[in-house]
Amino acid sequence: MKRLILLWLAVYALNLWPARADEGMWLPFLIDEALYEEMSRMGLNLTPEQIFSFDDASIKDAIVSFGGFCTGEMISDQGLVLTNHHCGYGRIQAHSSVDNDLLTNGFWAMTREEELPSEGLFVRFLVNVEDVTREVTAALSDEMGEEERRIAIREISQELVAAATGDTHYTANVSAMFAGNYFYLFTYETFNDVRLVGAPPNDIGAFGGDTDNWEWPRHTGDFALFRVYTAPDGSPAEYHEDNVPLRPRHFLPISARGVREDDFAMILGYAGRTERYLTSFGIDYRLEHMYPVRIDIRRRKLDIIEEAMAQSDELRIKYATKHSGISNYWKNFIGMSESLQRLRVADDKRALEGEFDQWVRSDPQRQEVYGSVIDDFRRVYEGMRRFNSQTYVFIESMATGPDVIRVANAFNTLKTLLEEEGDTDDVVQESERLQGIVERFYRNYDKDVDQALWAAMFEAYLDYVPQEGLPDIFEEVASRYGNDLAAWADEVYSASIFAEASRLEAFLEAPDHATLANDPVFLATQSVYGKHREISDAMGEYNTLLQRTDRFFQRGLMEMLPDRPFYPDANGTMRFTYGSVGGYHPMDAVYYDYHTTLTGVMEKEDPDHHEFVVPEKLKSLYESRDFGDYATDGVMVVNFITNNDITGGNSGSPVINGDGHLIGVAFDANWEGMSGDILFEHEMQRCINVDARYMLFIIERFAGASHLIEEMDIVY
């Protein structure tokens, strides 16, 4: 396998040395001399090769993409993986029941046999990266239409992936950077047997809940432990009782020494998505058409779900993961909207765009290449405004609304097969596939809750979408029900095969076209998805133009500002950030310290508020000061903050000191820095982390799982 990063890219990276240590979603295989010297000055005691190497074991080999949505890190030579409690929340919930409530009680496997298989969960290691910009761009030209360009990129990418993976078990993909100006081939090794090992109860792992989410000071033990298993020969394998713990190439020693202000801190993780090159036009559009809609509709969903969860433990457990997913970005959208306005981010972007436009106009050759960029951005967003907020209304109310709509949308292929009286074997095969979907979806489904969501989400459609943009199902709702959405929901859930798992399972035993085609849920689903496709097609020209304009804008910016540090937006690939431990001033005359302690947990305790209940055993340990070896001068630190860059996907990322030891796990950003995905706020943006010592204390003293401590390499 090629292990070459082209020389021109390394030279290019030298010109992108960061002016500020805290900002940057840097590609970790481009640690150049200037960057290394800056980190060494701040406290790094490792070589670049010890951080990231393709030939020798390095820190890179301890970092995993956890399920494709979070980050995790190997912390023992026996396959032990550390990540966030909220990253493992869905798996903890899946193993919970009223009689065995792991969310409330926590879980700790005292033997390997007690570790719980987690169907569908995987971890993925980065094996290799190649710069393939030259190969991809050789097949492209600026004169190409965007569809022609997309096809060309896909074809050359398939060839590159095939050459990289051959007949191995590796997977690979070509990832575009800087809006498609550069391309990299990432190769991965994936392990699918991942088992739950340990998780604190919600009252520790999610202490503070929605109230404290995206806030500092924080007092949350947001961590969980899993273990990766392999076939006996060490190769990836599906779950089997004969599998053995993974022996990773590298795992992180854990520091029990604690952190101090100004200590060096670096993070490696699979950063999800940033949009640091979003224009003022895009910001204005979101403030007007995206954030208000998504905040409102998510709040409507949360009100229904929270009312149901308060009714019984069964519903609380069933809807725990859905509630967590909805509420997390409900609050994020609020914070993002407020921060963008408070910091006047669009004004800063407008100033940059004005500078860009002036730079373009000052040279005829630049005008030929970049002359239409700013006008094209304006045209894109003026065009998108014609569709109001329909895309976001659809996403929130339908695509992530009632469960029955998502299930019904999966039945299109079966409908076609039945309609065409296709081969019986094809119908049977498709029915079996759908049966698996039914089993997964209805595991955490309640008919009454879903019916309430149906009425509320269709009401949201009526509230936000003008008459001419409504799906045709609303004509029937108006004529038959007088827009009484509750009455319509009653009839739909009484008649539909999708309203109950047993009805759908019976249908799949002997599926027929008439039943499916005339089902009220299926008809409504066809209508809303059909209208969404119509709107998407109409918006297609603007989305296509936006892709092209973004690409030219980012290319032009790098030409215009050759000495400015540029880095590609996060896109789910491994990124590296560095900075230091430190507090900040959130407002005039207020200072937030860099760490919180267990004393703060006790101060926040509120037995009457489910987000601030403190377990009795934790209170007992606190009162007796039974902190083991993990306190500093008798003080048990819980969380600390750094000025590292962070975004979604970084949850669970290791915070590593200058010696390569794990000092914490990243899990959140602070409220004052909520604009971070679009504009990094240097003075106040912070990354919130669980202190490694608090995790060790919970594992050993609270859970009594000392056997897990014994397999770790603890540095005192």
Q: pLDDT digit string (tens) for 184-230?
A: 999 999 999 999 999 999 999 999 999 999 999 999 999 999 999 99
pLDDT of 34 > 90? The answer is: no
pLDDT digits (tens, 9 = 90+) for 470-528: 999 999 999 999 999 999 999 999 999 999 999 999 999 999 999 999 999 999 999 99
Q: Residue 595: is its pLDDT beyond 80?
A: yes
Question: What type of residue sits at position 104?
Answer: T
Residue 576: name the closest of 637, 648, 653 by CA.
653
Contact 265, 578 (CB under 8 A): yes
Among candidate residues 336, 384, 330, 335, the one with its CA nearest the CA of residue 678: 336
Measured distance CA(247)–CA(711) in Å, rounded: 12
What's the confidence (pLDDT) of residue 312? 96
Tens of pLDDT along 522-557? 999 999 999 999 999 999 999 999 999 999 999 999
- CA-to-CA distance for 387 and 190, rounded, in angstroms? 41
Angle CA(218)–CA(223)–CA(225) in degrees, nearest 5? 175
pLDDT-based confidence at 565, cuts 50/70/90? confident
* Cα first-last separation, the chain: 40
Question: pLDDT value at position 422?
Answer: 66
Indicate where the chain has its CATH 2.40.10 domain(s): 574-715
- Given a cut of 80, whether residue 4 has pLDDT beyond it is no
pLDDT (mean) for 423-427: 86
Query: Among residues 223, 248, 261, which one has the least CA distance to residue 693?
Result: 223
* Helix, strand, or coil (residue 357): helix
Phi-psi category of residue 523: left, alpha or beta, with phi > 0 → left and psi -120 to 50 → alpha: alpha
Query: How far apart (Å, rounded) are the C-alpha atoms in residues 187 and 172?
Result: 4
Q: What is the pLDDT of residue 12?
A: 39
How many percent of the chain have pLDDT more than 70?
97
**How does pLDDT run across 109-156, given as a tens digit for each residue?**
999 999 999 999 999 999 999 999 999 999 999 899 999 999 999 999
CA 583 – CA 477 distance, rounded (Å): 55
Residue 14 above 50 pLDDT?
A: no
Q: Is the pLDDT of residue 11 over 60?
A: no
Stretch 344-365: mean pLDDT: 96
CA pair distance 419, 233, nearest whole angstrom: 48
At 234, is the secondary structure helix, strand, or coil?
Answer: coil
Question: How crowded is residue 303: how many other Cβ atoms within 10 Å of its Cβ?
Answer: 12
Residue 2, pLDDT score: 36
CA 716 distance to own-chain centroid? 33
The pTM (predicted TM-score) of the whole model is: 0.93
Residues labelled as active-site residues: 86, 222, 651
What local confidence, expressed as pLDDT, does residue 139 receive?
Answer: 94
Q: Which of 253, 135, 130, 240 is nearest to 188 (CA)?
A: 130
Return phi, psi of residue 663, to 5°: -110, -10
Strands (E), 47-154: 63-66, 70-74, 80-83, 107-108, 116-117, 123-131
Average confidence (pLDDT) over 415-432? 89
| Separation CA 663–CA 140 (nearest Å) | 45
Whether 20 shows a pLDDT value over 80: the answer reads: no
What distance in Å separates the CA atoms of residue 551 and residue 115, rounded to the nearest whole number? 47
- Cα 623 to its chain centre, rounded Å, is 38
Do the beta carbons of residue 701 and residue 636 sit within 8 Å? no
Six-digit token string for 123 = 């971890």
Query: Which CATH number is 574-715 given?
Result: 2.40.10
Q: pLDDT at residue 15 above 90?
A: no
pLDDT score, position 16: 38
What does residue 379 show for φ and ψ, rounded to 5 degrees? -65, -40
Average pLDDT, integer, range 578-597: 96
Tracing tokens 């500002």 back to the chain, one arrives at: 561
pLDDT number for residue 19: 44
**pLDDT value at residue 564:** 83
Please compute the mean of the pLDDT values over residues 659-676 and round it to a whole number. Answer: 96
User: Six-digit token pair at 144?
Assistant: 């190409």
Give the pLDDT band (50/70/90) at residue 424.
confident
Residue 117: count of CB within 10 angstroms of its CB: 17
Q: What distance in Å separates the CA atoms of residue 299 and residue 291, rounded to the nearest whole number?
A: 12
| SS3 of residue 238 by DSSP | coil
C-alpha 111/C-alpha 712 separation (Å) is 16
pLDDT for 657: 98
Q: Which sign does the torsion angle of CA 310, 313, 315, 316 carry?
A: positive
The 3-class SS string of 612-649 reads HCCCHHHHHHHHHCCCCCCCECCECEEEEEECCCCCCC
Q: Return the bridge partners of 129, or none.
A: 186
State the maximum Cα–Cα separation within the chain, in Å, rounded to a whole number. Answer: 76
Confidence of residue 21 (pLDDT cuts 50, 70, 90): low
Q: Token digits for 336? A: 């993002």
- Based on C-alpha coordinates, what's the Rg of the chain? 26
Tell whether the model's pLDDT for residue 18 goes beyond 90. no
**CB-CB contact of 286 with 345 (8 Å):** no
pLDDT of residue 156: 97
Tell me the C-alpha distance between 144 and 645, whole Å: 36
